[in-house]
Amino acid sequence: MKRRSFLAGSATTLLGACSLAPKAVQPALYDFGIAPPPATAVKLDSRIALAEVSANAWLQTPAIVYRLAYDDAARLRPYALSRWAAPPAELVAQRLRFALAQAARNGFSMASDGLPTDQLLRVHLEAFEQVVDTPQASRGVVRVLARLTSADRRARAQRLFRAEQPCKSVDAAGSVHALIAATDALIAQMLPWVASEARA
């Protein structure tokens, strides 16, 4: 009887200790939300295909990264308790697909679909980060290199696009919403360029 009581007491103590142990904190997951990108008046007359958006090596993870402009600006730092739901290139590609589909008069596809196309758009993501200028102020910065080629892969044009938006707060949430707005602003710059170069 004494042994049973001892074992029961030990089990109760262990269960109590487990319940008091700190629980693993799950990181907050972010994507671009449910609101679509702003509507555009630009119309694309050519059939456009989008290649998969590529990215620099440090942007091929779901980390939300920032750099302190006032303290070792060359160092990229990830937020520990927040991350993207997918690597940034995938989120940017999703946003760009939606905008191109809205603008294309004569059809839009992904290059991997293998459908007939007039122009192929390649986008390389070079920067997608929060720049913290001071402990009280930061901005979301997005930069891409866009290349437009004809259906037979002859180069037509290329251009570097950059956009930034101020963060409402110097934290992961502030970074996320600024980067969404900066991405939309960048796409708004890119679409008229695509339309113009595709007609050239």
SS3 43: coil
Q: Within a domain: residue 1?
A: no
User: Pick the residue with more confidence: 15 or 27?
Assistant: 27
Q: Within a domain: residue 23?
A: no
Per residue in 185-196, pLDDT (tens digit) is 999 999 999 999
Tokens of 34: 């449910």
> Which one-letter DSSP state was computed for residue 31?
-
Model confidence at 15: pLDDT above 70: no
Contact indicator for 90, 59 with CB cutoff of 8 Å: no
CATH of the domain at 165: 3.40.50.10610
User: Pick the residue with more confidence: 22 or 150?
Assistant: 150
The model carries a pTM of 0.85
Q: Within a domain: residue 4?
A: no
Q: Within a domain: residue 96?
A: yes
Over residues 29-56, mean pLDDT: 92
Count of domains observed in the chain = 1
Alpha helices (runs of H) in 21-87, residue ranges in sequence order: none
Per residue in 138-156, pLDDT (tens digit) is 999 999 999 999 877 777 8
Model confidence at 31: pLDDT above 50: yes
State the residue range of the domain holding 171: 28-199
Parallel, antiparallel or unpaired: strands 155-166 and 137-150? antiparallel
Q: Within a domain: residue 7?
A: no
Q: Within a domain: residue 85?
A: yes
Strands (DSSP E) found in the chain? 28-30, 48-50, 54-55, 63-68, 77-84, 108-110, 119-134, 137-150, 155-166
Q: Within a domain: residue 192?
A: yes
Q: Within a domain: residue 55?
A: yes
